[in-house]
Amino acid sequence: MIDPDTSSILAGARDRFANATDFTLGIEEEFQILDPTTLGLANRYEEFIDAAPPGLAGQLDGELIASEIEYKTRPHATFADAALDLARGRLALCALADTLDAQIAITGAHPFSPWTAQRIIETPHYDRVVGNLGYVAWINNTWAVHLHCGVRDADRAVYVCTRMREVLPELLALSANSPLYAGRDVWMASVRTQLFIRNLPRCGISDPFRDWDDYAGLVALLERTGSIAESTELWWSVRPHPAFGTVEVRICDGQTEAAHALALAALGMALIADCCAEYDEDRRREPHPRGHIEENLWRAARHGLDGKLIDLDTGEARPARTAVAALLDRTRDHHGPLGLEPWLDGVSEMLDQGNGAIRQRALLDRFEGDLVRTHAEAVARTRTAAEEIVRRHTAAVTW
Specify the CATH number for the domain of residue 368. Answer: 3.30.590.20
Residue 304 domain boundaries: 4-398
Task: Determine the Cα–Cα distance for residues 163 and 288; give it in Å rounded to an integer.
Answer: 9
| pLDDT value, residue 396 | 67
- Residue 370 CB partners (closer than 8 Å, separation 6+): 364
Residue 109: count other Cβ atoms within 10 Å of its Cβ. 28
Residue-wise burial string across 213-224, b where 16 or more C-beta atoms lie within 10 A, e elsewhere: bbbbbbbbbbbe
Instruction: Answer whether 90's CB lies under 8 Å from 382's CB.
Output: yes
- Residue 148 CB partners (closer than 8 Å, separation 6+): 25, 26, 27, 28, 75, 241, 244, 246, 247, 248
- pTM value surpassing 0.95: yes
Residue 56: count other Cβ atoms within 10 Å of its Cβ. 18
| pLDDT value, residue 399 | 41
Structural domains counted in the chain: 1
Give residue-wise pLDDT tens across range 25-43. Answer: 999 999 999 999 999 999 9
| pLDDT value, residue 1 | 56
| pLDDT value, residue 69 | 98
| pLDDT value, residue 47 | 98
| pLDDT value, residue 395 | 72
Q: How far is CA 361 from the centre of its chain?
A: 21
Q: Which parts of the chain sit beneath pLDDT 50?
A: 398-399
Instruction: Answer whether 79's CB lies under 8 Å from 266's CB.
Output: yes
H-state helical runs in the chain: 13-18, 45-51, 54-57, 79-99, 124-133, 135-138, 154-164, 168-175, 191-192, 212-224, 258-280, 290-303, 320-330, 332-335, 341-353, 356-366, 371-398
